[in-house]
Amino acid sequence: MPEDDTPRPRGFWSGTIAFGLVSVPVSLYVATRSSRISLRMVDGSGVPLRRVYFCGSEERPLERDEIVRGYEVEKDRYVLVDDEELDAIAPEKSQEIKLERFVSVDEIEPIYFERAYFLAPGRGGARPYRLLAEVMESSGRAGIATFVMRGKEYLVAIISERGILRAETMRFHDELRTPESIGLPELPDKVDNARVRRIEKAIRALAADELDRDLVSDRRSARLEDLVRRKLEKGEDVVAAPEDAEPSDQESAEVIDLMQVLKRSLEERGSGDRASNRRKSPGKRPERRARATNERPAAKGPRSAARRGELESHSKSDLYEQAKSLDIPGRSNMSKDELIEAIRNAG
């Protein structure tokens, strides 16, 4: 695949994997994307509809500042919790994936896995990344770790496959149901041998050495795409939404051949580390150019972090409106993280 034609997805979280005296800088990438076609709710002229919170007792829509959160302790009885109280009990912000234990990969049941992410080496981290991935894969061990992302603490399993580290967010033990809890009927102690042989024969008839990709393809989406294509060609039921229509609240993360991107990242980081080592030789450091006085420096420090935290508390629709007021180009195709970065840079 040509490098110039490959869109580069961006890591949305950066930090370090840490255990003992080992520290490996990494970036986090979403490893999955939904191939299912989502249908927007629109009116007959193609204007996208939006959700509005409605008060049943007063029979009117509510403004954002009128909405509070409540924990239902019993039917129609709530304990109200405000944002300040939630912030007070939120986990401390950290850029560290803290490895607590190394266990056999086979010890982790797949039912614990919730969502997959790829970990790419961060700046200067190609060598320790390769070493950690190689040792974990050869030993057949996974690392159990915790880290904080977007104000929430996650439990993750770090797994190495083909030299690439993957982070699987995990469900907590009390979130899992047992077979007994769902009321499975008691199974007979003995089964008929003739039936066993018939089932074995049927399994052998359908057996294959490799999984056929067609079996795990999204057939419904393919049929829906075909329906849309045929209606579009006929000009049937085609409407155009106004240019200023609100964007969808649904967020999607672009994941484009991430295995290729990660491998290329490893190669680039490795060459970058070697170049960095050469630049450290005495007498060979180039003179740093003076920055022009009218050049605006990149936002850094606590104010920048606070600004990002403030923007993250807004919905994607609110961020879109801010981007619109700032006349940020391409805003309608941006994810929430991209809108945040664009607003920060514009502000």
Q: What percent of the chain has pLDDT over 90?
A: 23
Which of 107-121, 200-214, 311-325 is least confident? 311-325
pLDDT of residue 347: 61
pLDDT of residue 269: 57
In angstroms, rounded to a whole number, what is the distance separating the alpha carbons of residues 345 and 234?
44
pLDDT reading at 331 higher than 80: no
pLDDT of residue 132: 93
Which of 56-60, 147-151, 205-209, 218-222 is least confident? 218-222
In angstroms, rounded to a whole number, what is the distance separating the alpha carbons of residues 210 and 201?
19
pLDDT reading at 136 higher than 90: yes
pLDDT reading at 248 higher than 70: no
* pLDDT, mean over the chain: 77
pLDDT of residue 306: 56
In angstroms, rounded to a whole number, what is the distance separating the alpha carbons of residues 103 and 242?
55
Q: What is the mean pLDDT of residues 220-228?
A: 82
Assign 138 a pLDDT band (cuts: 50, 70, 90).
very high
Question: pLDDT tens digit string along 158-185?
Answer: 999 999 999 999 998 888 988 888 888 8
pLDDT of residue 294: 35
294 or 164, which is more confident? Answer: 164
pLDDT of residue 289: 34
pLDDT reading at 98 higher than 80: yes
Assign 2 a pLDDT band (cuts: 50, 70, 90).
very low
Which of 60-69, 110-119, 149-158, 215-224 is least confident? 215-224
Assign 38 a pLDDT band (cuts: 50, 70, 90).
confident
CB-based burial, 27-56: b 16+ in 10 Å, e otherwise: bbbbbeeeeeeeeeeeeeeeeeeeeeeeee
286 or 324, which is more confident? Answer: 324
pLDDT reading at 256 higher than 50: no
pLDDT reading at 140 higher than 90: yes
Q: For residue 229, which of 216, 240, 220, 238 has the smallest C-alpha distance?
A: 238
pLDDT of residue 119: 93
